[in-house]
Chain A
Amino acid sequence: MSILTRKPSKLADLRPALARLERRLFMRQALSFGALSMLTGCNWGEDDDIEKVLWVVSRFNDKVQAALFDPNKLAPVYPESAITKPFPFNAFYGEDETPVIDGSDYKLQVSGLVEDKTPWTLARLRALPQTSQVTRHICVEGWSAIGKWGGAPFRTFLQQVGADMRAKYVGFKCADKYYSSIDMATALHPQTLLALDYGDAELPPKYGYPLKLRVPTKLGFKNPKLIAEIYVTNDFPGGYWEDQGYNWFSGS
């Protein structure tokens, strides 16, 4: 997810370098008083203290959002005519750097608090009851786009693997080194989808082939693509952007 532009094509080749630079700057400078200390001329203390406060508030905001989350409230759905074309590509790297996964020997790993850790082939995932949705993808940057995703309800998958539904988190490790995690309540939401299709065809690499989690009740960066492993845990798993400062819950 770029922090620079909503038009990935223009800065695509600069994005990884810029993202790395921004990330490096972040821990040192970003949560400092920055502009404010220059405006007030005051030094309010160590940057680390300010950053700690912001992290504590962000964890508090996770709890507030978990309380606001209604497991039965559905995200609005749209007619297919409302689909945004082309649907924007977004990742922490450029579109041409997207790893291309060979689906024929793909095996989804399952680990953590589950009864059945047998890896899943794409054929077996396709054999699960399939559904589709036309929903709005909202990026943390502010832009939004409507897309259509098809696949298996994630709840069904979790039931199949005998996941401990009382566990706190479901984590995702991806083939592009991305990682993220969501709360169990959201994982069990009826619209949370283990997506195999975009539109009416198999996911193309840029939209996350072979497997993407579609969560219309969370911001876009909580929708991991190119999923290689799913695990259930009670230990806070964090995420690629979440560990750098994006709010973890990020519910819509």
Chain B
Amino acid sequence: MTLMNTGKPKRPIIHPLMVRITHWINALAILCMVTSGWAIYNASPIFDFRFAKYLTLGGWLGGALAWHFAALWVLVINGLIYVLYGMLSGHFRHDFLPLSIRAIWRDFVAALTFKLKHRLGVYNAVQKLLYIVVILFGVGVVISGLAIWKPVQFQFVTGLLGGYDFARIVHFAMMAGIVGFVAVHLVLVALVPSTLPPMITGRAPAHDPHSQDPEGAPI
């Protein structure tokens, strides 16, 4: 909120600057990690398929690995900043909690019957669940990645994940979870395009009645 009164009421910030910055850096990092990861997977597939080459990054295995192990620093550092911010600022506590199974079921049924109202700045229970789950997938993809990268130095972690070969499957599953989330996320943005500008400007659209509440959750 600005201290100067410009005469015109400013639309409230629903996505704080930190969330917007880390969101877009994360989007780029995930894109690099997933596409280079698919190229690495293709060198020795664990399932009976390969990813189409035009979806992969790096050109050959060495290039893909170079991308993967460079982008990982962006992913991890940005992710740590986001999680620390989320915990310290109250973003997680205010916006992802409380969460009950009953509320998830209620909003899930409402969504499937197209009765769920979208209110900018407030997450429904299904959204809250998905955001929490994808953060856990993010933690899981990093931990399983460490288990594959350092099966000797971090053999304790690799052992917890069922050994080197199974840790590869876990890493793949975490990637699949993240990609699945991104797919749903993009479909929902396409269905409710008004959610996109606030992720860039931070501000709620003027016509959104909910956004007039200055005490609204800063999301």
Residues of B within 8 A of A120 (CB): none
Interface residue B43 (Cβ < 8 Å from any Cβ of A) = yes
Neighbour of A57 across the interface among B31, B61, B69, CB < 8 A: B69
Main secondary structure of the interface of B (DSSP, over half): helix
Q: Which residue of B lies closest to A58 (CB)?
A: B66
Neighbour of A141 across the interface among B44, B58, B73, CB < 8 A: B44
Question: Which stretch of B89-97, B102-110, B114-122, B148-156 is in the interface?
Answer: B148-156
Given known A-B contacts A70-B153, A75-B152, A136-B151, A31 and B57 have beta carbons under 8 A apart = no
Interface residue A252 (Cβ < 8 Å from any Cβ of B) = yes
Chain B window 136-179, contacts with chain A (Cβ cutoff 8 Å), 1 for yes, 0 for no: 00000000000010111101000000001100100000000000
* B165 CB to nearest A CB, Å: 6
Interface residue A80 (Cβ < 8 Å from any Cβ of B) = no
Question: Which stretch of A22-30, A104-112, A223-231 is in the interface?
Answer: A22-30
Bound CA span A6–B47, Å: 13
Residues of A within 8 A of B35 (CB): 35-36
* A144 CB to nearest B CB, Å: 5
Chain A window 204-222, contacts with chain B (Cβ cutoff 8 Å), 1 for yes, 0 for no: 0000000000001100000
Chain A window 2-39, contacts with chain B (Cβ cutoff 8 Å), 1 for yes, 0 for no: 01111000000000000000110110011110111011
Interface residue A178 (Cβ < 8 Å from any Cβ of B) = no
Contact indicator B40/A241 (Cβ below 8 Å)? no
Residues of B within 8 A of A138 (CB): 151, 164
* A185 CB to nearest B CB, Å: 12
Neighbour of B62 across the interface among A216, A217, A245, A251, CB < 8 A: A245
Bound CA span A58–B68, Å: 10
Task: Please indicate which of the listed interface residues B31, B35, B69 has the most CB atoms of chain A within 10 Å of its own CB.
Answer: B69
Contact indicator B153/A76 (Cβ below 8 Å)? no
Give the size category of B's interface with A.
20 to 34
Interface residue B32 (Cβ < 8 Å from any Cβ of A) = yes
Contact indicator A136/B43 (Cβ below 8 Å)? no
Given known A-B contacts A73-B153, A144-B165, A30 and B60 have beta carbons under 8 A apart = yes
Q: Size of chain A's interface in residues, with CB distance under 8 A? A: 47
Contact indicator B56/A25 (Cβ below 8 Å)? no
Residues of B within 8 A of A175 (CB): none
Neighbour of A241 across the interface among B58, B62, B73, B164, CB < 8 A: B62
Interface residue A87 (Cβ < 8 Å from any Cβ of B) = no
Contact indicator A136/B55 (Cβ below 8 Å)? no
Interface residue A68 (Cβ < 8 Å from any Cβ of B) = yes
Interface residue B41 (Cβ < 8 Å from any Cβ of A) = yes
Interface residue A236 (Cβ < 8 Å from any Cβ of B) = no
Contact indicator B66/A57 (Cβ below 8 Å)? yes
Bound CA span A251–B155, Å: 13
Interface residue A158 (Cβ < 8 Å from any Cβ of B) = no
Residues of B within 8 A of A144 (CB): 164-165
Instruction: Please give me the 8 A-B residue pairs with the lowest Cβ-Cβ distance, nearest first.
Output: A30-B59, A245-B62, A30-B63, A142-B44, A141-B43, A141-B44, A57-B70, A3-B61
